Amino acid sequence: MKSKVMLIIVLALLLALVGTSAAQSTTVLRVASTAGVTTWDPALSFSTEALYMANIYETLVRVNAPGADSEISPVLATDWSSSEDGLTWTFNLREGVLFHDGAPLTADAVKRSIDRAKAISGASFIWLPLESIDVVDDLTVQFNLSYPAPLPLILGSTYAAWIVSPTALDAVDADETYFEAGVAAGTGPYMLADYTPDAEVVLAQHPDYWGGWSDGQFENILISIVADAVTQEQLLRGGEVDLALRMPPSSYQSFVDDEAYNVATETTLFNYVGFLNVLRAPLDNQAFRQALSYSVPYEDMIAVAVEGLGTQARGPVPDGVFPFSEDVPQYSFDPDVAQRLLEESGVDPSTVTLRMTYAAENTIEESMAPLLKDAWEETLGITVEVEAILFGQQWQEAKADPAAAQDIFLLLYWPTYSDAGSDNLLSMFRSSEAPFFNLSYWANETFDTLVDDAIVISGTDPDAAQAMYTEAMTLLVEDAPGLFFMDVGTWYAVPTYLDGFAYNLNYPFSIDFYAITLAQ
Amino acid sequence: MRKLEYTLRRLLLSLGVLIGMTIVTFVLTRVVPSNPAALYLGQRARPEQIEAITQELGLDDPLPVQYIRYMNDLLHGDLGDSLATKRPVTKEILSRIPATAELLVTAIVIAISVGIPLGVFSAQLHGKPADVGVRTVSIIGVSIPQFWLGLILQLVFGLWVGLFPIAGRVDSTLRFSSPIEDITGLFVLDTFITGNWIAFKDVSLHLILPAITLAAYPIGLIARMTRATMIEVLGQNYIRTAEAYGIARRMIVYVYALKNAIIPTLTVIGLTFAYSLTGAFYVEIIFNWPGLGLFTARSFLNLDFPAIMGITLFGATGYIIINLLIDLLQAYLDPRVSLD
């Protein structure tokens, strides 16, 4: 009898405990994201914390998604002009803007923020053309360049271009770890309210935000850091979060079929390439490299690895960003041509064993690797060994001793700012004595010259620069030191009770929470 | 006195084990082809930055020099800074212990409360269908992959039935309505102490599915071990004598027999407790539980050497202490167990 009473009490307690989550209101927008925080220092930031930085800090201008009325929108700057030679740019700043700590936006804050980013940022290379910054008056700032680069694109970068409060800059001058305790001081719509490493980031409205606030916007943004895509999906479906920023590609169709969600597919600037180590035989043979390129099952790869959310790449510059060009040639899966090229190369396939590595943490590369292995072994009769290792190890191996490194290196790449000429082409295929991302170790003087010249004139004569880049990319694809697999897309399932969600491919890690409102 | 000597001797030996463990882990983490400086700075750091941080962290020093420096820092309570979070590893570990402890203790309490009665029940019905049933459940508990069980529980009880939250330790929006006062870091306890019943309900609900997932393996193990030892004990003469005296069956089973049968099970419970720390890796990932397991998994994925060293040291120390406590407890419960 006693045990039955106990059982009833326990069951009653359990039933009392069970409940559901609170109804949706504008108090808080709950988001699940994989975005960890490498640093809270806006100058050092060069990773996934861009999700938070983009809502806390602002840049002078913003680069719009393709299809917008204008390429650039003003943010902290209201208007700008450049000299005829493209070497001097003057920006007028917005009046009445306050940082989260109450300090006003000034030209001096802009100069100090960018000077600091240029000096210490991992993305400091974007400031290569910048010679100096002059403070003309409190709200006017002048940039002096060494060559006419497209400055607004650089100023709109998602890294190394945030404008920071002078008070915080003073503090970080005194203590370089100042930001790491979870301190932020920008002009953005949201302030950093709380941060639990690897677990949670809480953003709260900046009451004095220059853009103002209206009904329906969220007072707080609560981002749970959830590493697992399946868990994110379950949280969204269970109503425990309002947005899940990474879900399994295989779940796409089920959300499309669900009326409770608006599903949007987007192109991104994420581009998959495979470096062919041209220092190692037989990859030093152009015809053999082309044979490999003709035996890549491009369509199958897109269907399997990204569930159809992607397109075959045209070189290393993804569709949607300068200097992408439809004129750059593509290979196709053509076993006959591949066989002919293999014969031309004079390579005996039975003697060839290629070692291919991919980043173990990248599930798309994990799906690509066996498809490539099968296709090459079946089409060309060579042997391919596939090895999954962590990206850091893979990269380290490639750089340690190029001649002994892996034969094929799969890589996911994206431009740091909206100019893939001065990033993707320069970083991945321009020759240098100490290769950084040029891990095919390819060196071609004509390509180098074309890219170098195009970078210098891209600010003043983008058409001529585009022509040079196209020529360089054509040369690159034909010589095939890399395999150009695909530009991948992404998708989002947004509950119908939310409005304003938008993805801008120029800011691949960021979502503008200010634009999101509760549907009326 | 003998117990004190024994304890001191074991602690001294444990120190040797720990030093050996630091050497092995240190060498292993350094021979992996990777560059800690590059990891510290992130994937797209420039060569000159990597060079600067290599010098700053002393990564270009010979390995023995780096090891001695590490041990020197360790003796001063400094496990270095995490390459991923840039925060002191000691702080990272300490801040995550309460979450894991709460999960682990709950799982073990569930495992003991379910496993021991199941084992006893099964032993009493030795050979009957109910015994076969319990043994089958035990085998399933031991062999079912935790990550799979976790996902199924999430799907069934979180998503379909909607009884329990799917992931996390607490509904984060409570910070705006019923914030939890952090006293011990154990949320269930803190909310109970402060009478924050809304949060108490929420954190208890969040705890149930991950704790059951983590408890599945120990339930099976404890039930099997209890069953085996109980069958042996129940066959002994003193039990038959007790039965002959007409002592109540329940008294014989739960007092006289179980007290003797529990000793080998205690060792299993101790080892299971330590083993569950590793099980917590999967469970914490699946349930996004912000504890040591999640931190460990991320540290391994990021090749975060200082964090890996710190966690290994912490885990090994925990394992040694738990083993020692179990040995002492066994000696206390069973005078035949020698401490020599």
- Tell me the per-residue pLDDT of B198-228, one tens digit each, with 9 for 90 and over: 999 999 999 999 999 999 999 999 999 999 9
pTM: 0.83
Q: Strands, DSSP E only, in A185-241? A: 190-196, 200-205, 220-225
If you measure CA to CA, which chain A residue comes closest to B31? A393
Instruction: Look at B25 and A134; give whichever has higher pLDDT.
Output: A134
Flag the least confident range among A446-460, A466-480, B86-100, B318-332.
B318-332
Q: How many angstroms separate the CA of residue B288 from the nearest CA in chain A? A: 6
Report domain extents, chain B. 97-291
Is the CB of residue A321 less than 8 Å away from at least one CB of chain B?
Answer: no
Q: Give the residue-averaged pLDDT of B103-108.
A: 93
d(CA A464, CA B95) in angstroms, rounded, equals: 57
Secondary structure, 3-state, A158-196: CCCCCECCHHHHHHHHHCCCHHHHCCCCCCCCEEEEEEE
Q: Residue A12: is its pLDDT beyond 60?
A: no
Comparing CB atoms, the residue among B38, B151, B177 nearest residue A396 is: B38
Q: Is A226 on the interface with B (CB under 8 A)?
A: yes
The pLDDT assigned to B340 comes to 58
For residue B33, pLDDT over 70 is answered with: no
Q: What pLDDT score does B147 carry?
A: 85
User: What mean pLDDT, rounded, does chain A reach?
Assistant: 91
Mean pLDDT (whole number) for A123-129: 88
Residue-level pLDDT at B43: 59
* Contact A22/B at CB under 8 A: yes
Cβ <8 Å between B159 and A237: yes
Q: Which two tokens stand for residue B59?
A: 């990564």
Query: Which among A16, A222, A227 has CB closest to B173?
Result: A222
Which residues in chain A touch residue B43, judged by CB atoms under 8 angstroms apart?
47, 391-392, 395
pLDDT of residue A268: 93
Q: Is B72 exposed, middle or buried (0-12, 13-18, 19+ CB in 10 A)?
A: exposed
Contact call for B167 and A22, based on CB within 8 A = no
- To 5 degrees, how large is the angle CA A463–CA A509–CA A181? 130
CB contact under 8 A, A434 and B172: no
d(CA B99, CA B189): 12
Average pLDDT rounded to a whole number, residues B36-43: 68
Instruction: Name which of B35, B114, B172, B250 to mutate to probe chain A: the one with the most chain A Cβ atoms within 10 A of its Cβ.
Output: B172
Beta bridge mates, A202: A194, A222
Q: Which of A29, A198, A426 is the best mutation test for B, with the most CBs of B within 10 A?
A: A198
Give dist(CA A244, CA A501) in Å, integer: 12
Flag whether pLDDT at A203 surpasses 90: yes
Residues A353-373: what's their mean pLDDT? 92
Q: How confident is the model at residue A516 (pLDDT cuts 50, 70, 90)?
A: very high
Predicted pLDDT at B274? 73
From chain A, pick out residues whose CB is under 8 angstroms from the CB of B33.
393, 396-397, 400
A chain contacts of residue B290, beta-carbon cutoff 8 Å:
196, 198-200
Q: What is the per-residue pLDDT for A20?
A: 42
Query: Who has greater pLDDT, B278 or A339?
Result: A339
The pLDDT of residue B322 is above 70: yes
Residue A410 has a pLDDT of 95
Q: pLDDT value at position A22?
A: 43
Residues of chain A positioned with their CB less than 8 A from the CB of B166: 231, 234-235, 238, 240
Amino acid at site A293: S
* Residue A386 CA, distance from chain mean position: 26
Residue B275 confidence (pLDDT) above 90: no
Rg of chain B on CA atoms, in Å: 24
Check residue A5 and give its pLDDT: 53
Q: Give me the mean pLDDT over the B307-313 stretch.
A: 90
Q: Which residues of A touch B49 (CB under 8 A)?
A: 122
Contacts of A50 in chain B (CB under 8 A): none
Hey, are the CB atoms on A222 and B172 less than 8 Å from each other?
yes
pLDDT digits (tens, 9 = 90+) for B41-93: 665 666 677 777 778 778 888 888 888 988 888 888 888 888 877 788 998 89
Size of interface A-B (CB pairs under 8 A): 134
CB-CB: which of A38, A125, A392 is closest to B303?
A: A392
Residues of B in contact with A234 (CB under 8 A): 154-155, 158-159, 166-167
Rg (Cα) of chain A, in Å, rounded?
A: 25
**Cβ contact (<8 Å) for A238 and B162?**
yes
> Are A234 and B39 a contacting pair at CB < 8 A?
no
Greater confidence (B338 vs A106) lies with A106
Does residue A6 surpass a pLDDT of 70?
no
For residue A518, name the pLDDT band (cuts at 50, 70, 90): very high
For A:235-294, CB contacts with B below 8 A are: 235, 237-238, 240
Residues in chain A, total: 520
CB contact under 8 A, B33 and A122: no
Grade residue A23 by pLDDT with cuts at 50, 70 and 90: very low
Q: Which CATH code is given to the segment(s) B97-291?
A: 1.10.3720.10
CA dist A203 and A188 (Å) reads 11
Q: Picking from A163-177, A297-311, A350-364, B301-315, which range would have the lowest pLDDT averaged per residue?
A: B301-315
- Indicate the pLDDT class of residue A1, thresholds 50, 70 and 90: very low
Strand partners, A273: A411, A484
Determine the pLDDT at residue B44: 60
Summary mean pLDDT of chain B: 86
pLDDT value at A21 more than 70: no
- Cα–Cα separations (whole angstroms), residue A385 to A211, A284, A347, A358, A409: 55, 19, 18, 11, 12
B91: nearest CA in chain A? A197
Closest to B45 (Cβ–Cβ): which among A18, A122, A226?
A: A122
Test A390 with B301 for CB contact under 8 angstroms.
yes
Question: If contacts are CB pairs under 8 Å, which of residues 342-381 in chain A contact chain B?
Answer: 361
CA distance B20 to chain A (A): 26
Which run of H or of E encompasses A96? none
pLDDT band per the 50, 70, 90 thresholds, residue B338: low
Residues 185-204 of A with CB under 8 A from B: 194, 196-200, 202
Q: Taking 50 as the threshold, does the pLDDT of residue A466 lie above it? A: yes
Q: Residue A474: pLDDT above 90?
A: yes
Return the pLDDT at A131.
96
Interface pTM, i.e. ipTM: 0.76
CA distance to partner chain A, nearest, from residue B35 (Å): 7
Q: Is the pLDDT score of B128 beyond 60?
A: yes
Closest chain A CA to residue B40: A38
Residue in B173, B201, B205 closest to A28 by CB: B173
Residue A439, SS3 per DSSP: coil
Q: Which of A40-44, B168-172, B326-330 has the lowest mean pLDDT?
A: B326-330
- Give the pLDDT confidence of B134-170 residue by residue, as tens digits: 889 888 888 888 889 999 999 999 888 889 999 999 9
Q: How far apart are CA A498 and CA A321, in angstroms?
A: 29
Of B85, B167, B201, which has the smallest distance from its Cβ to A226's Cβ?
A: B167
